[in-house]
Amino acid sequence: MALKVRKNKSPAPPFDCPLSRCMTLLGGAWTPNILWALKGGPRRFSELRIDIPQVSAKMLTTRLRELEERLILTREVKPTSPPSVEYALTEFGEELMPAIEAIAKVGRKVQKQLEGEAAFSDG
């Protein structure tokens, strides 16, 4: 016997769904980590490498360029010798932080739950 297909009670998302657009901005490997590292203020490339040791220099460069193109962060070349570059969140980038913080909060709950399940299964 075939199962009856139920209708979705949620309204259909608009053609140009705002949630999808936002997730497109936040998507991509290491993007949330980069934004998290920049939420405390401007960081140089080498500082970001220390903050996120698992990311390769090539991937970090790629993500930083993408985020700059999307107007989420700024790249400022400082007139030092040798020149240094600082990355910082734009106002728009800072508007994304509550969403990332909310995701991190849920992530901490998930992590605690998984740790509890692991402890339960070990005992």
Q: What torsion, rounded to 10 degrees, do the Cα atoms 42, 60, 24, 7 define? A: -120
Tell me the CATH architecture of domain 28-122.
Orthogonal Bundle (1.10)
Q: Which of 18-22, 31-35, 69-73, 81-85 has the lowest mean pLDDT?
A: 18-22
* Higher pLDDT among residues 105 and 14, named by residue: 105
Tens-place pLDDT, residues 26-54: 888 899 999 999 999 999 999 999 999 99
Average pLDDT over residues 47-68: 96
Per residue in 24-33, pLDDT (tens digit) is 888 888 999 9
Q: How many CB atoms lie within 10 A of CB 38?
A: 26
Position 13 pLDDT exceeds 70:
no
For the question of whether the overall pTM of this predicted structure is more than 0.85, the answer is: no
Q: Which of 47, 48, 45, 91 is nearest to 72 (CA)?
A: 91
Domain ranges of the chain: 28-122
